[in-house]
Structure 1
Amino acid sequence: MTRETTKFVYVTYILSTPEKVFEAITKPDVARRYWGHENVSDWTPGSQWAHIRANDARTVELVGEVVEIAPPTRLVLTWANASQAADPASYSRVTFEIVEYDAMVRLTVTHDELEAGSGMANGISKGWPAVLSSLKSFLETGRGLDVFAKPKAA
């Protein structure tokens, strides 16, 4: 039986350079400032990467492998909850494509190979818009958003 998959594609334009956008994704000390997590790897194809919560507990929340890297325009990662790392079927894929447009960058994030209806797919649908909005704010103003904010009760 084949599992049903889904994908999400997010596009945002950022007043920045491809180099700064790529650095914001791959440098732990920069990612921490808008994502609340550090993306840690040596960033070579086949290397492992970890998405570590930037708090006192330093919890590894996501793991994967660097599939492809071409700074500053492309990064492809596998992606799974750390608790499911031993299950090959739990992995999805994230592709970051960075294209220069005059004085700005078009960042396209494609998260595919997701199991339809899974907890990961549901989380992705809320998580990426907040993270990419925070990235844009951070690179344009120097201040990220609170990606852990919750809706106010009505």
Structure 2
Amino acid sequence: MGQRSIDREIHIDAAPEVVYEVVSKPEHVRAWWPDEADYEPAPGATGTIAFTNRPDGKFVPLTVIEADPPRRFVFRWAYALDEVATVANSLLVTFDLVPAGAGTLLRFSETGFDESATPDEVYHDHVTGWDYFLPRLTPYVDRLVSAP
């Protein structure tokens, strides 16, 4: 089996500084992705995100790896709550932000499925999840930048 990753590109009509805030700060992340988010957007910080609207009320740990505003935000997640994130036990999510005219090209990737021996159904669940959540970024940013 080859390397599995999830890669997406989205053009957002807002400056990279705005998009960075939306993909890194918990108060914004909660508006388009998990139901709850509790972490500091700083390298080495740990916290959790939660999908409390699910029947199982899933809580997932998160460790911030890189925070380079307004260019890049990277974290590891999807490891056991009682463990420290490593290459072998977690997935790596990267948001790269590239200025594009008056907006931003957001390059998203999630990797580590092979290193962590992630089952196919988990990989496909993440593909489906990101296909649902990432498109929610654009309308959320639009509301932010058009708010009085």
TM bracket, shorter-chain basis? 0.7 to 0.9
Per the TM alignment, residue 73 of structure 1 is displaced from its structure 2 partner at its CA by 0.9
1:42 aligns with 2:63: no
Per the TM alignment, residue 101 of structure 1 is displaced from its structure 2 partner at its CA by 0.7
Q: Distance in 2 between matches of 1:44 and 1:92?
A: 18
Q: 1:119 to 1:82 in 2, by over 3 A?
A: farther
Instruction: Assess if the C-alpha contact under 8 Å between 2:34 and 2:49 holds in 1.
Output: no
The farther-off stretch of 76-85 and 131-140 is 76-85
Per the TM alignment, residue 18 of structure 1 is displaced from its structure 2 partner at its CA by 1.0
**SS of equivalent to 1:33:** helix
Instruction: Assess if the C-alpha contact under 8 Å between 1:50 and 1:61 holds in 2.
Output: yes
Give the corresponding residue for 2:101: 102
Q: Given the two structures, how large is their TM-score scaled by the length of structure 1?
A: 0.74
Please, what is the CA RMSD of the aligned residues? Answer: 2.8
Per the TM alignment, residue 118 of structure 1 is displaced from its structure 2 partner at its CA by 3.5
The farther-off stretch of 10-19 and 45-54 is 45-54
Instruction: Assess if the C-alpha contact under 8 Å between 1:68 and 1:76 holds in 2.
Output: yes
Per the TM alignment, residue 5 of structure 1 is displaced from its structure 2 partner at its CA by 4.5
Q: Distance in 2 between matches of 1:22 and 1:87?
A: 23
1:130 aligns with 2:132: yes
2:66 to 54, 65, 68: 68
Q: Distance in 1 between matches of 2:49 and 2:19?
A: 17
Q: Given the two structures, how large is their TM-score scaled by the length of structure 2?
A: 0.77
Unaligned runs of 5+ in 1: 143-154
Q: Tell me which stretches of 4 or more aligned residues in structure 1 moved more than 6 Å.
A: none
Give the corresponding residue for 1:91: 90
Unaligned runs of 5+ in 2: none
Per the TM alignment, residue 29 of structure 1 is displaced from its structure 2 partner at its CA by 2.2
More strand by share: 1
Instruction: Assess if the C-alpha contact under 8 Å between 2:79 and 2:85 holds in 1.
Output: no
Amino acid at match of 2:18: K
Instruction: Assess if the C-alpha contact under 8 Å between 2:73 and 2:96 holds in 1.
Output: yes
Per the TM alignment, residue 80 of structure 1 is displaced from its structure 2 partner at its CA by 0.9
The farther-off stretch of 97-106 and 29-38 is 29-38
Q: Distance in 2 between matches of 1:111 and 1:47?
A: 19
Q: 1:137 to 1:54 in 2, by over 3 A?
A: farther
The farther-off stretch of 31-40 and 84-93 is 84-93
Q: Distance in 2 between matches of 1:19 and 1:87?
A: 28
**SS of equivalent to 2:5:** strand
Identical counterparts, % of pairs: 24
Amino acid at match of 2:72: R
Q: Distance in 2 between matches of 1:48 and 1:65?
A: 4
